[in-house]
Chains A and B, each alone.
Chain A
């Protein structure tokens, strides 16, 4: 079907070019116009084919981390910044996480605590060896968000609402689940192909490329197009300097689409289930997270994209009642290792540590 539409578009281009030459009454311009348009159409066809190749390629970890980093920077900026105290130092020092000197301040201690809690949870996930990074955004909005590659953020507003470590663990586990389940990939793959094709159409002077033309400068579009033309198959290296414009095109649109629509309802319910399993497997009571979600006002900000809190609570209670274990448990229905096969009522909520005060 798509091929048929493309063929029709090609025919339309050829017809218009020929007609414009005819109106001038100049046969050489007719020939030239046909040749130019044929070249444009062939070029467009090739470009669109490359876009399909880019979309069909599996996303490598390097690509995931590149797009995840760019998306994480957007969450940091849009979330009002991180509650960290940045050390003075040059770019090289900041790019060396193992050796960067970190000041011992209340805000940095808050992040030490959050990362210990988060990494303990993530070590029980299906991607335990990622470089998981957990941060607090300086925003009053009650929010939590993740980015591919292992970035998880919660807001100061959210931390004000959690009353025990089990609730915090549940929130972090829900976001960890989005990363381990690669929920962002579906949005990203479509974004990548759509943006690539918009770029190709823009260069071919087609109206389908107008959104890209509106959003970016001609110089930027030329850079992105040069990167597309240089693509020769295989994995797309978005960390290469020559591909920075493509990384920008893809990341910006991913962020836009995510903010517009969020994840699908089923993805959120599954993230609740996987997250709850992770929380319980780590040793926390599931009650902290279930109560936290149940107390959320419906439709507030980020959570507007989620199912209603009452629906989420009902789903989790079903899961805890073991009636839905078969559909959600990563460690398997009927598995002797399912954390839900224990008496979860004995698991602790745990008090929050004093370090959290820096966020309140």
Chain B
């Protein structure tokens, strides 16, 4: 009986968690998400948002329910539903001199930790003599250099390239 009550509470809690009301805060998923003047892909862009940006949800458009009315930074417009989420991006746990601290995704992005490439520890791991014995190809030292090159290729991708990719996939002009 107690178990049934527990299940009921969980079901109710889950149901409540997803019940959105106008005025609730929702979050952007995706890069360069356009807030458009009206509920159409061809409408003018009012502002572009980035992953984790919070907006105020006003509800789905009555005629085109895949477009949702939102407010952000004093602007009111429409966002395609797949670019929104009821939950914010995951927080991250960072090491600090006073112990580990949890930061949200945007604070994490601006902390510098997010942009870290292969760490000193990992480089040391790959370059140690014990890891470079034997006939394996590539050697661990070569694997370090290749991975660093790969990280540079990844890090040097520009906003313009990424925006062009969004446009290519969605067919929407950026």
Seen from chain A, the residues whose Cβ lies within 8 Å of a Cβ on chain B are 57-63, 65-66, 68-70, 72-73, 76-77, 80-82, 84-87, 94-98, 100, 102, 108, 111-112, 115-117, 119-120, 123-135, 165, 180, 217, 220, 234-235, 237-241, 243-244, 247-248, 251, 280-284, 330-337, 339, 341-342, 348, 350
User: Shortest beta-carbon distance, A146 to chain B, in Å?
Assistant: 14
Contact B81 A131 (CB under 8 A): no
Contact A94 B154, CB 8 Å, known A69-B125, A130-B114: no
Contact A77 B136, CB 8 Å, known A65-B119, A102-B153, A131-B116: yes
Contact A82 B147, CB 8 Å, known A243-B121, A244-B124: yes
Question: A-B pairs with CB below 8 Å: how many?
Answer: 261
Q: Which residue of B has the minimal Cβ distance to A180?
A: B90
| Further contacts, 12 of them, CB under 8 A, given A76-B146, A334-B15 | A60-B94, A61-B113, A62-B119, A65-B116, A66-B119, A81-B143, A102-B152, A124-B29, A127-B89, A127-B105, A241-B120, A333-B14
Contact A281 B150 (CB under 8 A): no
Instruction: Pick the residue among A58, A94, A98, A247 that contacts B125 (CB under 8 A).
Output: A247
Q: Which residue of B has the minimal Cβ distance to A103?
A: B149
A62, A238, A336, A337 interface centre (most CB from chain B within 10 Å): A337
Seen from chain B, the residues whose Cβ lies within 8 Å of a Cβ on chain A are 14-15, 17-18, 20, 26, 29-31, 51-52, 60, 66, 68, 81-87, 89-90, 92-95, 99-100, 105-106, 108-109, 113-126, 128, 130-131, 136-140, 142-157, 161-162, 164-166, 168-171
User: Shortest beta-carbon distance, A313 to chain B, in Å?
Assistant: 23
Write out the residue numbers on chain B whose beta carbons fall within 8 Å of the beta carbon of A132. Answer: 154
Contact B156 A123 (CB under 8 A): no
Contact A116 B157 (CB under 8 A): yes
